[in-house]
């Protein structure tokens, strides 16, 4: 089935490239995303299947794939409105890059071998670069160059980590570099522990530009800033999810050995804390709505790393946090794309009166804000509560105090910079009210309300889903 | 012979620290490609299949030894910039840092030495990684950063030889993809950045701010 999806992707790309009218280009792109939704349904029904040797439709991969299919389809829909002024050629390059990013992420989600994950993550760099360079301005060139350069250097470092991990395989304890074989081999004490520790460090640093955590998170922020906003929505939700899946799978292989589990925990706590620090500092400095949303991603990814670092219930919280964040951030960014289209600018300080101009859109923004700052009934309140209490339970009060303070700073900056956009009086005649998209806002509102429902009601299916991923 | 190749490789990394012309950078990257081909072929041994040998030669000689230096020379010709920026660190400080990186690499190698990875390969590839990072952080022109990335790629390739020839084919494919990424970056540099940034200073690429 996966090979069918690949063939359909190639055929769609061919049709998108050859079409001479915008309406056909958008039609074929929509067809691709609808096929993806159908494949997501098939993947849910066929969980556990291994296909083409290197891909397994496990619960973790399927959960993220379903979310990606959903967010991807909405992104494609909004893109057709957002890019209405672009030339046909630019539109084609954009949609082909978006489809390529989807295919690459499908590989990342389902790969059961560490090398295959790495190959597809490398491919995401190329596809995301196509989206980042869309505007062809000096600024987008800068963002694209930095993204390709830093991501590639990071990915090369991650590869060094994989090579270090392959010493476990070379020792004969693991037959290949599949996650299952590595988990078994590491749990049985195979390989040099120092090499495995270094491997985790290198892989985490290498993947940090994808999962948007310290140290390479800034290139992701710049890429989000330069890409068209619907593409930024996809990058900061599905691609960040892909990065999390990659880190989570590597982290999980090392949990069988107590010393390695402790080491990875400490590294993740450090990375998570530093990511939160970066997010809090830069959220205070930035004046751009897209960068604001991107730094919020850095904050949330930092919290996911903290959750993994704590272990136990923290891991459960981290996985749920990541799943919910994919939906919330996707919705937030997509609504911001409507704001940008209406105001012609993403300057937070310059715009206002959004509630009067687009009440439904403003409601989506406020709900997303509530969700992102983890106020009840947001599901992120539940996950952050678990992470913070997890820190106290482990006696890590020296981590808890700065993390809590940084979270307060994040909440403050997000509210101070977003709420005036909704409530500040402004001259509405300057606003392009034609750019409103009430249907999109209604769908986004539904998605955010879904995450609110997960925050107040502990649905057994959701608990089972996260349990299956974690344990 | 293998030892000689690795020593020449390490010396080329030291020379990078003092090289002041981009032409020398391109020559050194090319030389490393040829050295890596020699080392890889010696590591494979006579019992290895012809397919594996052809794959390695294609990876190292065609990509690293010929294509990459060719693209580097084309960039130098197109941009007409040949000297490392004067504002960059002096050659003396650079060589000091480079020697320090070598000492650090050898110390770490002694500390982590393991039978599964050749000690010499491990030490020199770690030195290559540090030398590449030094080039990226201490030089101002983007071209130097690009060369730094290529040096890191070469170090990763050398390390892949350190952990043994019995690695799965997927690992080799990964390395090839990494090389292609480097070639793509060179292409981007050649077609986009070189035209827009006449003096190739990284200061020009700092317009994105919060």
- Residue-wise pLDDT for A80-117, tens only, equals 888 888 899 999 999 999 999 999 999 999 999 998 99
Among the partner residues A141, A149, A286, nearest to B185 by beta-carbon distance: A149
Closest C-alpha to A157, from B185, B49, B159, B104: B159
Element (DSSP H or E) covering residue A307? helix A289-310
Q: In B, which residues are within 8 Å of A142 by CB distance?
A: 205-208
DSSP-derived 3-state class of residue B16: helix
Report the distance separating Cα A242 and Cα A236, nearest Å: 10
pTM attached to this predicted model = 0.93
Q: In B, which residues are within 8 Å of A192 by CB distance?
A: 112, 114, 116
User: B201: distance to nearest CA of chain A, Å?
Assistant: 12
Pick the residue from chain B with its C-alpha nearest to A126.
B181
Q: What's residue A319's pLDDT?
A: 98
Report if residue B204 sits inside a domain: no
A292, A418 in Cβ contact below 8 A? yes
User: A170: distance to nearest CA of chain B, Å?
Assistant: 7
Contact B152 A156 (CB under 8 A): yes
Contact B207 A160 (CB under 8 A): no
Q: What's residue A169's pLDDT?
A: 72
- One DSSP character per residue, A10-42 reads HHHHHHHHH--SHHHHHHHHHHHHHHHHHHHHH
DSSP-derived 3-state class of residue A288: strand
Report if residue B194 sits inside a domain: yes
Report if residue B78 sits inside a domain: yes
Q: What's residue B117's pLDDT?
A: 60
DSSP-derived 3-state class of residue B137: helix
Number of domains in chain B: 1
Chains A, B: CB pairs < 8 Å: 119
Q: In A, which residues are within 8 Å of B164 by CB distance?
A: 170
User: A394: distance to nearest CA of chain B, Å?
Assistant: 31
Among the partner residues A143, A148, A285, nearest to B185 by beta-carbon distance: A148
> Rounded to a whole number, what is the largest CA-CA distance in chain B?
58
Q: What's residue A174's pLDDT?
A: 62
Report the distance separating Cα A393 and Cα A306, nearest Å: 14
Of A277 and B184, the one with more pLDDT = A277
Q: Is residue B166's pLDDT more than 60? A: no
A73, A225 in Cβ contact below 8 A? no
List chain A domain ranges: 269-471
In angstroms, what CA-CA distances link A147 with A150, A277, A293, A324?
5, 22, 18, 26
Q: In A, which residues are within 8 Å of B188 by CB distance?
A: 144-145, 148
Among the partner residues A149, A156, A194, nearest to B112 by beta-carbon distance: A194
Interval B62-69 mean pLDDT? 90
The DSSP letter of residue A271 is H
Contact A166 B163 (CB under 8 A): yes
Report if residue B53 sits inside a domain: yes
Per-residue tokens: A108: 């990342």
Contact B193 A145 (CB under 8 A): yes
Where chain A has pLDDT below 70, the residues are: 170-175
Contact A195 B177 (CB under 8 A): no
Contact B185 A126 (CB under 8 A): no
* Cβ-count burial A69-100 (b if 16+ within 10 Å, e if not): bbbbbbbbbbbbebbeebeeeebbbbbbbbbb
Q: What's residue A44's pLDDT?
A: 95
Q: What's residue A409's pLDDT?
A: 97
Report the C-alpha dihedral over residues A21, A24, A28, A30, rounded to 10 degrees: 110
A448, A364 in Cβ contact below 8 A? yes
User: B138: distance to nearest CA of chain A, Å?
Assistant: 16
Report if residue B206 sits inside a domain: no
Q: Is residue B190's pLDDT more than 80? A: no
In angstroms, what CA-CA distances link A103 with A19, A86, A239, B205?
21, 24, 11, 31
User: A163: distance to nearest CA of chain B, Å?
Assistant: 6
In angstroms, what CA-CA distances link A118 with A206, A246, B30, B170?
10, 8, 27, 10
Q: What's residue B1's pLDDT?
A: 83
Q: Which ipTM was obtained for this model?
A: 0.86
A358, A342 in Cβ contact below 8 A? yes
Asked which of A186-190, A306-310, B71-75, B139-143 is least confident by mean pLDDT, the reply is B139-143
Among the partner residues A153, A177, A225, nearest to B170 by beta-carbon distance: A177
User: Peptide bond preceding A377: is omega within 30 degrees of 0, i.e. cis?
Assistant: yes
Domain of residue B46: give its range: 2-198
Q: What's residue B164's pLDDT?
A: 60
Contact B117 A195 (CB under 8 A): yes
Q: What's residue B163's pLDDT?
A: 72
Report if residue B207 sits inside a domain: no
Of B41 and B169, the one with more pLDDT = B41
The DSSP letter of residue A311 is -
Report the C-alpha dihedral over residues B66, B72, B76, B78, rounded to 10 degrees: 90
Q: Is residue B200's pLDDT more than 70? A: no
The CA-based angle A59-A385-A445, given to 5 degrees, is: 65
Q: Which of B174, B176, B198 is the best substitution to test chain A (most A C-beta atoms within 10 A)?
A: B174
B127, B107 in Cβ contact below 8 A? no
* Cβ-count burial B89-115 (b if 16+ within 10 Å, e if not): beeeebeebbeebbeebbebbeebebe
């Amino acid at each position: 089935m996966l090979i069918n999806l690949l063939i359909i992707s190639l055929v769609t790309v061919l049709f998108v490239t050859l079409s001479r009218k915008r309406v056909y280009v958008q039609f074929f792109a929509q067809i691709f995303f609808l096929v993806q939704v159908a494949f997501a349904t098939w993947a849910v029904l066929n969980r556990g299947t291994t296909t083409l040797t290197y891909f397994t439709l496990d619960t973790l991969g399927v959960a993220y794939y379903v979310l990606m299919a959903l967010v991807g389809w909405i992104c494609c829909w909004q893109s057709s409105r957002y890019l209405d002024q672009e030339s046909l050629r630019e539109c084609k390059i954009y949609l082909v890059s978006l489809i390529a990013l989807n295919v690459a992420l499908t590989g990342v989600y389902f790969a059961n071998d560490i090398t295959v994950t790495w190959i597809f993550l490398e491919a995401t760099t190329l596809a995301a670069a196509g989206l980042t360079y869309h505007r062809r301005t000096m600024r987008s060139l800068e963002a694209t160059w930095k993204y390709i350069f830093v991501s590639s250097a990071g990915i090369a470092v991650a590869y060094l980590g994989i090579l270090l991990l392959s010493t476990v395989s070379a020792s004969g304890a693991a037959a290949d570099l599949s996650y299952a074989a590595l988990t078994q081999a590491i749990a049985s004490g195979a390989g040099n522990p120092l090499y495995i520790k270094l491997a985790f460090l290198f892989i985490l640093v290498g993947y940090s530009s994808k999962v948007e955590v310290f140290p390479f998170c800034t290139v992701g922020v710049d890429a989000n800033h330069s890409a068209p906003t619907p593409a930024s929505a996809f990058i900061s939700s599905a691609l960040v999810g892909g990065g999390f899946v990659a880190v989570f799978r590597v982290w999980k292989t090392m949990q069988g050995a107590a010393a390695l589990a402790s080491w990875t925990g400490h590294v993740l706590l450090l990375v998570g804390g530093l990511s939160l620090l970066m997010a809090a500092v830069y959220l205070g400095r930035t004046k751009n709505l897209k960068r604001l949303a991107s730094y919020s991603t850095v904050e949330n990814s930092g919290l996911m790393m903290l959750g993994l670092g704590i272990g136990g219930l923290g891991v459960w919280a981290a996985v749920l946090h990541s799943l919910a964040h994919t939906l919330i951030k996707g919705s937030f960014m997509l609504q911001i794309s409507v704001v940008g289209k209406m105001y012609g600018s993403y300057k937070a300080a310059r715009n206002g009166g959004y509630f009067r101009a687009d009440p439904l859109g403003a409601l989506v923004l406020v709900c997303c804000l509530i969700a992102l700052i983890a106020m009840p009934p947001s599901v992120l309140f539940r996950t952050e509560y678990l992470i913070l209490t997890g820190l106290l339970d482990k006696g890590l009060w020296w981590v808890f105090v700065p993390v809590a303070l940084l979270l307060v700073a994040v909440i403050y900056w997000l509210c101070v910079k977003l709420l005036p956009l909704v409530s500040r009086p402004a001259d509405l005649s300057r606003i392009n009210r034609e750019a409103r998209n009430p249907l999109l806002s209604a769908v986004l509102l539904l998605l955010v309300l879904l995450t609110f429902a997960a925050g107040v009601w502990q649905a057994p299916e959701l608990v089972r889903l996260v349990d299956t991923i974690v344990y | 012979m293998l030892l000689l190749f690795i020593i020449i490789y390490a010396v080329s990394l030291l020379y990078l620290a003092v090289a002041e012309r981009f032409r020398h950078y391109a020559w050194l990257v090319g030389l490393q490609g040829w050295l890596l081909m020699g080392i890889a072929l010696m590591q494979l041994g006579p019992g290895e299949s012809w397919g594996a040998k052809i794959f390695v030669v294609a990876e190292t000689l065609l990509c690293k030894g010929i294509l990459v230096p060719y693209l580097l020379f084309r960039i130098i010709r197109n941009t007409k910039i040949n000297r490392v920026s004067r504002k960059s660190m002096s050659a003396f400080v650079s060589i000091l840092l480079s020697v320090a990186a070598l000492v650090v690499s050898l110390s770490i190698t002694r500390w982590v030495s393991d039978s599964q990875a050749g000690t010499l390969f491990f030490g020199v590839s770690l030195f290559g990684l540090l030398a590449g990072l030094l080039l990226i952080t201490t030089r101002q022109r983007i071209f130097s950063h690009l060369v730094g990335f290529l040096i890191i790629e070469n170090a990763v390739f050398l390390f892949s030889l350190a952990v043994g020839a019995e690695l799965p084919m997927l690992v080799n494919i990964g390395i090839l993809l990494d090389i292609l990424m480097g070639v793509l970056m060179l292409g981007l540099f050649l077609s986009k950045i070189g035209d827009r940034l006449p003096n190739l200073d990284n200061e020009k690429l700092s317009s994105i701010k919060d």
